[in-house]
Amino acid sequence: MAVMVDEAPTQGDNGLLDKFLALDTPEGLRAELIDGEIVVSPPPGSRHERNIARINRQVTLHSSTAFDFSGNMGLVLPGDGGLPYYVIPDGTFAPLDLDVYDNDDSWSEPDGIAMVVEVTSSRPGPDREAKRYGYARAEIPLYLLVDRDEQRVVLFSQPDGKDYARTDQASFGKGLALPEPFGFELDTSDFV
C-alpha cells in the first residue's frame, strides 16, 4: 500500500522526510520512503519468506566468507537528486568482521554491505527499478532480486553510481553464480 502525502518535496523542503521519520508505524508493518513516496507494507507471506530463508541457508553453507544476515535492517540510500531513500531490504548480507550491527539506530548507512536481497510481492515495480537504482547509487556491490512474477532470479553487479553495469539472471530451477565474496552457485530449484 502506498501512502501519498499532499505536498511535493522540493530541494530545500524536508516536510515529507520529516513526516516519514515521525511515522508511528503499527507493529508488524514496515514503512519505506522511495522516490518521494511513503510505502507501508504488511508482513510478507510465507512463500516470500521461504525464498529469503533458502538464500540465507545457502550463503551460510556455501560462501567462501562468513556473513551476518539481517531481514530488517533499515538503510539510507542516496536519492535521485532529491530526498534520500529509506528502505528495508528483505535481506542484507555484511561480512562478519564488519560488525554493522554495533548501534541501535533504526537507519544505517550501507557502507560495507556485500549484498542486498529483495523478493517481489504484489507491488514489484520499486524492487525492479527504484530500489535497484538506490542500491547502485549507494555502491552496494551486489543486488539479488527474486522476481516471483517472472519466475527468475536476477543478480545486479558492478555498480557505477547510477545503475548496475552487469546483469545476470536465471529462471527458477536453474543455478545462478554468485561472485566473490560469496563464490558459489545459488540453487533456485525450490524458489516459489
Q: Are the beta carbons of 119 and 44 closer than 8 angstroms?
A: yes
With a cut of 80, say whether residue 36 has pLDDT above it: yes
With a cut of 80, say whether residue 10 has pLDDT above it: no
Q: Residue 87's domain is classified under what CATH number?
A: 3.90.1570.10
Give the closest residue to 34 by CA, choosing from 146, 143, 135.
Answer: 135
Q: How far apart are CA 78 and CA 81, in angstroms?
A: 8
Is 103 domain-assigned? yes
Task: Return the C-alpha torsion angle 95, 54, 126, 144, nearest 10.
Answer: 50
In which residue are the cell numbers 565474496 written?
181
pLDDT at 100: 63
Task: Return the C-alpha torsion angle 123, 126, 129, 130, nearest 10.
Answer: 170
Is 10 domain-assigned? no
Q: How far apart are CA 25 and CA 47, in angstroms?
A: 24
Sorted by sequence, the CB contacts under 8 Å of residue 67 that are 6+ apart come out as: 59, 60, 93, 94, 95, 96, 114
Q: Which DSSP category does 44 fall into?
A: P
| pLDDT band at residue 81 under the 50/70/90 scheme | confident
Residue 189 exposure: Cα atoms within 13 Å on the Cβ side: 3
With a cut of 60, say whether residue 63 has pLDDT above it: yes
pLDDT at 99: 67
Is 24 domain-assigned? no
* 104 vs 115, residue with greater confidence: 115
With a cut of 50, say whether residue 3 has pLDDT above it: no
Is 108 domain-assigned? yes
With a cut of 70, say whether residue 69 has pLDDT above it: yes
**Mean per-residue pLDDT of the chain:** 88
Q: Where are the alpha helices (DSSP H) in 63-124?
A: none
Sorted by sequence, the CB contacts under 8 Å of residue 71 that are 6+ apart come out as: 52, 90, 91, 92
Grid cell for residue 149:
512474477
| pLDDT band at residue 136 under the 50/70/90 scheme | very high
**For the chain, what is the domain count?**
1
| pLDDT band at residue 102 under the 50/70/90 scheme | low
Structure confidence by residue, pLDDT tens digits, 140-162: 999 999 999 999 999 999 999 99
pLDDT at 88: 94
Is 130 domain-assigned? yes
Q: Residues 37-56: what's their mean pLDDT?
A: 88
Q: How far apart are CA 32 and CA 86, in angstroms?
A: 5
pLDDT at 101: 60
Is 182 domain-assigned? yes
Is 25 domain-assigned? no
Residue 61 Cα to chain centre, angstroms? 22
Domain that holds residue 60: 45-187
Is 57 domain-assigned? yes
| pLDDT band at residue 122 under the 50/70/90 scheme | confident
Phi then psi for residue 89, to 5 deg, are -60, 155
Residue 119 CB neighbours (<10 A): 26
pLDDT at 6: 34
H helix or E strand, kind and range, residue 57: helix 46-62
